[in-house]
Amino acid sequence: MSLAGNGIRGIVVAGTHSGSGKTTVTLGLMAALVQRGLAVQPFKCGPDFIDPTLHKLATGRLSRNLDLWMSGGDFVRGCFQRHAANSDIAVVEGVMGCFDGGESSSAALAKALGLPVVLVVDVRSMAESVAAIVKGFEMLDPEVQLAGVILNRVGSPRHLELLTGAVNRHCRAEVLGYLPREAEFAIPERHLGLHMGEEAPIRAEALTKLADTVEQYIDLDRLCELAAVVSDPAPVLQAAQCEEKRVRIGVARDRAFCFYYEDNLELLAAAGAELVEFSPLADEKLPVGLHGIYLGGGYPELYAARLAANSSMRAAIRDWSEAGKPLYAECGGFMYLTESIVDLDGDEHPMAGVYPVRARMKKGRTSLGYRQATTVAPTLFGKAARCCAGMSFITRPSTRCLRTWNGCIGWPMARWKGIGSIIPWAAICTSTSGLTLRRYRIF
C-alpha cells in the first residue's frame, strides 16, 4: 500500500476521557498500517515515558513526545516535521480526553500541527446518546477538525446500527469503524501506568491479532484519506552539531532507570556530550572519565533490594556528589539519591544517601501536573531567576529530614510553581522529587 501526495500525512488519535481505549486503538492502527507495508512514525502528546515504548513495539520506530507547554510550538512543529518526513503516515496518540490539558491538550496539538482528530468513544452502556457526545466534541472548538470516530467496545450488530445511525444523523464526523466488546487485548498495568515496551508486555501474536481486528472492523483506507497532508514547512529547530565530544556524561540506564526523552539525549549529544550508559543495578563502578552523571526516572522501588545490595555503586554515587561534581537526577533518580526507599510492603532499603530524606511509596498518585521552577541561585540550568518548565507525577513523597540540607550537595535553589498550586522548593542542582524537565525549556 502506498499513499499519494506530497508532504507529511498524519492524524491525531484522541479519546473522550482516560480509559476510553485510546492506547489500544492507537496501537492497533499503527500495527495494522505497518502490516500493510506502510512506514508509520509514532508520536505521543504530552510528557509520557511509557506509551512511546509501546509505539515502538507496534512500528519499529522511536516515538517522540510533543508537548506544547514544555517545549513550545516551534520545537514541537519542528520535531514533528523532522521525524515524520521519512514516513508514509504519522500517528499521534493523544493524552487523557481530547480537550484535557488546556494549551497542551490533544486538541491544541492537533491545531498546532494542522492535523485532523480521530475520536475514540467508549460506547459500552450507551446507544443513540453517542451522538450527543460526538456533537459536543465537534462544537466545543470549531477550529479542531474532528474528522472521524472509532467506536470502542461495541456489543452487537444491533448496537452498532443504533450508534452509527445516531452519529450519521447528527454529526459531521464519519464513523470509521469499531472494535467489538469481545476483542481481547490487555496491557499489564502497575502504579505508574502500563508496563514499558522493553518489558515485552504485549506478545507478538497478540499485537498481530489486534492488527487483524483493526483491519477487519476499521476502514483504514478512509482513515488514510482523511489524514491531513502537511506541506507547509515548519521551523526545524536543532541544536548546533558539535563534532568534538567535549564531555562524557554517564547515563544510568537499566530496568530501574528507564524514563528518558530521546530528544534530551540527542540534544546533549549534539552539544558535544559523549553519552556513556551504565547500570546502577549491575555495575559496581562508574564508567571512567566522566564529567557528569544523569540519573533518569523509572522504577527504583521495584528494584530497591538489588540497588541496595550494590553498595559499591551507591558509594560511588555518594562520593561523586560529595566531591561537588555535576549530578542531575529526576523522579526515580532522585529516589536513588535519598537515604532510603520504603516500598509498598513497608520494607526499607538503603540508597545513595545524598539527600537527608527517605522516599516512601504510597498507593495512588499524590500530585500530577506541570511545574515551573525559578532558580534562586546559579544552577546547572543557568543563572539565578531563570524559569524552567517541567512536570511532576508523584507517587513517592520524600519524608523524614535526617540532617540539614546544607549538610549535602543540595540546598534551596529553586521555587516551584505548579499549575493551580504552589509546592515547596527543592534542590534543583541535583534533583526534584518527581520533576521531569522536558528539554530544559528556559525562559
Catalytic residue set: 331
Q: Which amino acid is at 109?
A: L
CA separation for the pair 167, 134 (Å, rounded): 7
CA separation for the pair 72, 82 (Å, rounded): 16
| Paired residues of 435 in beta bridges | 392
Q: Which one, of 317, 296, 104, 268, lies nearest residue 196 by Cα?
A: 296
Q: Which amino acid is at 301?
A: E
Number of CB atoms found within 10 A of residue 199's CB: 13
Residues in the chain, total: 443
DSSP 279-327: -TTT-SSPPTT-SEEEE-EE-TTTTHHHHHH-HHHHHHHHHHHHTT--E
Residues 188/195, Cβ–Cβ less than 8 Å: yes
Q: Output DSSP code: residue 168.
A: H
Q: Which one, of 437, 4, 34, 383, lies nearest residue 214 by Cα?
A: 34
Alpha-carbon dihedral of residues 75, 77, 82, 83, nearest 10 degrees?
100
Residues 152/119, Cβ–Cβ less than 8 Å: no
Q: Is 307 exposed, middle or buried (0-12, 13-18, 19+ CB in 10 A)?
A: buried
